[in-house]
Amino acid sequence: MGVDRMKRILAAGSVALLAALSAGHASEPTEIRIIESGGTSGESIDIAYGRPFTEATGVKLVREQPGSLGKLKAMVKSGSVTADLMELSGPGVETARAQGLIEDLDWNLIDPEAMNEEARLPYAFGYQYFALFLASMPEAEPVTTWQEFWDTERQPGRRAIPAYARYALPLALLADGVEPNELYPLDIDRALASIDKIKDDLILWEAASQTPQLLKSGEAVYVATWDNVFEEDGFYVNFAPGIWDVAYFVMPKGAPNPELAMKLLHEMSKVENQARAAAVTPIAGPSPTIMDHIDAAIQAKLPTNPELRKTQASSDRMWWAEHGEEAERRWSEYTLKNF
C-alpha cells in the first residue's frame, strides 16, 4: 500500500470519526435499539409497538436478538451500552438489579395506560404474559391437574417437563398437592421427593421446540410446555393448571436514549397495541382489560387471562433471585445422582 493512499485513508477515517463524534452531540438520534428474544414475539413487537412508536417520534426501532443477562452484564461492564431496552425474565430482572446493571424507569415519562401491578415495577416493564401448561395427544387419558400428570398408574408412559429448576421444582410441588398460592417459599426437599416418585418416567427438555415432537412420536404421553403446542394442530391442551409468568423490559445502566425508550414503553402500555401483538402471537400484554380488546378465537389460544389466573400458579421472581442458585445447585446434584 502506497504512503499516499494510506494518508488518504487516514484522513477520510478521521473526518468520519469527527462527524460521528459531533453527530453524537448535535443531532437527534434516528434510531433506538432494543434487544429481545426474536421469532414471532419479535415480529409482534415490530407490528404492534414499533410502528406506532415510529409514527409518533420519527425514530426507527432496531431489534437485536437475543437478550440475556450475560449480554446485559457484558454491555454495562464494557461501558459501551448500545441498547436502550433489553428483555429479561423475572428473576433475571432482580439479579440484574442486585448487580447494578439496570436503571429505574421514568414512569412519569412512560405515562402508561392501566397496567397490572406485577408488570409495573420501578425498574422493569412487564410486557408479555406467558404460561407453562400441560398438553397431550388426544388418545391419552386427558389430564386436568399436575397430580394426574404425575400419576403413572392412571396413564402409563413418559412425561416431559422443563429441565430447569425454576419450572421443574414448582411443577413437582403442585403435583404433590401443594396449593398454587402456597408454592412459595419453595420446599426444595419436598419437590425433589415428588420428582423422585416418577423419575424413571421423566424426560427433561431443554428446548421447548422438542415438545410437539415428543408427543407426536409417542416418546411422551404428557408434556409441560409453552405456547408452541396448539389445539388447532390436533393436540389436547389445558391451560387451567398452568404456571403464569411475565417477561420484562429493562433499561441497561448508561442507555443512550432513555427518553425515547420510555416513549416506546408508552406504546407497549396501550391496550389496543397489545391486542395487535396478541394477534401476531398468542401472548397477552400487561393491560387488565386486554381480554375486552381481542376476539374470541385468539382469546381461546391465550394460555393466560384473568379467568385462568384464578386456577394458575405464578412464579415468584424475588424468591428465585434470592434462592435460585441454591435451588439450581440442589437440582443439579439431584439429577446427576438420580438420572
Partner 1 sequence: MNWQALSSRLSDAALALWSLFALFLLLAPVLVVVPMSFSASKGLEFPPQGFSLHWYGKLFADPLWIEALRTSLVLAATSSLLALAAGSLAAYALVRNSVVWREAIAASFIGPMVVPPVVLAVAAYLVYARLGLLGTMPGLVLAHTVLSLPFVVMIVSNAVAAFDERIEQAAISLGASRATVLTRVVAPALMPHLLVSWLFAFAVSFDEVVLTFFIAGVHTTIPKKMFITLRNEIDPTVTAVSALLIAVTVLIGVIAVLLLKRRILTVVGAEKT
Partner 2 sequence: MASSPALPFAGGIRRRLDRGVLVLPGLTLLTLGFLMPLALLLPQSVQDPDLGFGAYGRLFGEPVYLHIVLNTARLAVIATICCIAFGYPLALWISRLGPRMRIVALVALVLPFWVSILVRTYSWIVLLGREGVVNTVLMRLGIVDQPLSFLYRELGVMIGTINILAPFFVMPMVAAMSAIDPRLSQAALSLGASRFQAFWRVFFPLTVPALVTGAFLVFIMTFGFYVTPAIIGGGRVKMLATLLDYLINTSSDWSLAAALSFFLLLVTLGVFMLARALAGLARVGRRRSQ
Binding site for partner 2 (CB under 8 A): 68-70, 73, 91-92, 95-96, 99, 158, 160, 163, 202-207, 210, 213, 217-219, 324-325, 328-329, 332-333, 335-336, 339
Q: Which is nearer to partner 2, 266 or 323 (CB)?
A: 323
Please choose which of partner 1, partner 2, none residue 37 contacts, taking the beta carbon within 5 to 8 angstroms, the exact cut-off set by kind.
partner 1
Residue 246 in 3-state DSSP?
A: strand
Helix, strand, coil % in the chain, rounded to nearest 5: 50, 20, 30
Rounded to a whole number of angstroms, the CA Rg of the chain reads 23
Helices 271-280, 258-269: inter-axial angle, 10-degree rounding: 80
41 neighbors 283 (Cβ within 8 angstroms)? yes
Distance in Å, CB of 245 to partner 2, minimum? 14
Distance in Å, CB of 82 to partner 2, minimum? 18
Q: Which is nearer to partner 2, 230 or 339 (CB)?
A: 339
101 vs 77: CA distance, rounded Å = 9
Distance in Å, CB of 24 to partner 2, minimum? 26
241 vs 13: CA distance, rounded Å = 61
- Return the C-alpha cell found at 189: 426437599
65 neighbors 38 (Cβ within 8 angstroms)? yes
Binding part of the chain for partner 1, among 31-39, 101-109, 258-266, 269-277 by CB under 8 A, reads: 31-39
Q: Binding to partner 1 (CB under 8 A): which residues in 221-260?
A: 226-228, 233
Q: Which is nearer to partner 1, 72 or 102 (CB)?
A: 72
Read off the amino acid at residue 297.
Answer: A
Residue 59 in 3-state DSSP?
A: coil
255 neighbors 29 (Cβ within 8 angstroms)? no
259 vs 124: CA distance, rounded Å = 15
Distance in Å, CB of 37 to partner 1, minimum? 7
Distance in Å, CB of 235 to partner 1, minimum? 12
State the binding string over 40-69 for partner 1 (x if CB under 8 A, else -).
x---------------------xxxxx-x-
Strands 124-136 and 31-35: unpaired
Please choose which of partner 1, partner 2, none residue 293 contacts, taking the beta carbon within 5 to 8 angstroms, the exact cut-off set by kind.
none
Distance in Å, CB of 281 to partner 1, minimum? 9
Q: Binding to partner 1 (CB under 8 A): which residues in 130-169?
A: none
Where are the alpha helices (H) located in 247-311, listed in sequence order? 258-269, 271-280, 296-301, 306-309
Residues of this chain that interact with partner 1 (CB under 8 A) are: 33, 37-40, 62-66, 68, 70-71, 73-75, 77-80, 82, 207-209, 212-213, 216, 226-228, 233
